[in-house]
């Protein structure tokens, strides 16, 4: 097991995470790699965040190192066709090999709550090399490119442990 995974924990997001996620989302590099590059204002963010916490179809997870140092937020949007997953790393944690471990642990956490999940999808900006490598590194396969995005899938129906 990677050292980066040993002290990495995952928990459900809570109201105290709102400010961190707001700052991470509005980081210039995050915005340049996102499908939506505009700056989000505080009111818009808090409405989205509170709606996400109360949604039955969205799960927000926080990845932490040693249960105190926030690494990333991983979002799961649940639909009839599968689960759309995305990750946003704390900008201070970029380049430190936390993305793959955070995504792996978050998927494990999610599957314990939703064990019948058959497919997960990801939509990644083609210029976001780090995210593409992260999703491929945890077993997603690229199945198409459309406009500026690559689309990835991970199937769970045939390889449950």
pLDDT tier, 2 (very low <50, low <70, confident <90, very high otherwise) = very low
User: Is CATH 3.40.630.30 correct for 3-155?
Assistant: yes
Q: Report the interhelical angle of 99-113 vs 129-137 (nearest 10°).
A: 50
Residue 71's CB is within 10 A of a number of other CB atoms, namely 24
Which tokens is 34 given? 């996102």
Q: How confident is the model at residue 5 (pLDDT cuts 50, 70, 90)?
A: low
pLDDT at 68 over 70: yes
Tokens linked to 160? 């449950």
The 10s digit of each residue's pLDDT in 125-153 is 999 999 999 999 999 999 999 998 999 99
Q: CB count, 10 Å around CB of 146?
A: 9
* Residue 47 half-sphere exposure toward CB, CA atoms < 13 A: 5
Nearest CA among 86, 161, 90, 96 for reference residue 131? 86
Partners of 153 in the β-ladder: 121, 141
Do you know the residue count of the chain?
A: 161
Q: Extract the tokens encoding 87.
A: 């990750």
Cβ neighbours of 41 (radius 10 Å): 11
User: Which pLDDT score, from 0 to 100, does residue 29 have?
Assistant: 86
The pLDDT score that the predictor gives to residue 55 is: 96
More confident residue, 12 or 3: 12
Strand, coil or helix: what is 138? coil
Domain ranges of the chain: 3-155
User: Which pLDDT tens digit goes with each residue over 79-136?
Assistant: 998 999 999 999 999 989 899 999 999 999 999 999 999 999 999 999 999 999 999 9
To 10 degrees, the CA torsion angle through 144, 61, 43, 33? -30
Give the Cα separation of 12 and 42 in Å (integer).
Answer: 21
């Amino acid at each position: 097991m990677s050292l980066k995974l040993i002290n990495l924990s995952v928990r459900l997001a809570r109201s105290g995470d709102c400010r961190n996620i707001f700052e991470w989302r509005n980081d210039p590099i995050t915005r340049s790699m996102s499908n939506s590059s505009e700056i989000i204002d505080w009111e818009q963010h808090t409405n989205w965040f509170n709606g996400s916490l109360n949604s039955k179809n969205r799960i927000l997870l926080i990845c932490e190192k040693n249960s105190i140092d926030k690494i990333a937020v991983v979002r799961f949007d649940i639909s009839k066709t599968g689960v759309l997953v995305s990750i946003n790393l704390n900008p201070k944690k970029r380049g430190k090999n936390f993305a793959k471990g955070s995504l792996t642990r978050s998927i494990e956490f999610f599957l314990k709550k939703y064990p019948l999940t058959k497919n997960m999808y990801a939509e990644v900006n083609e210029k976001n090399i780090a995210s593409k490598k992260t999703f491929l590194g945890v077993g997603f396969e690229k199945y198409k490119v459309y406009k500026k995005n690559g689309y990835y899938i991970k199937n769970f129906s045939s390889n449950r442990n």
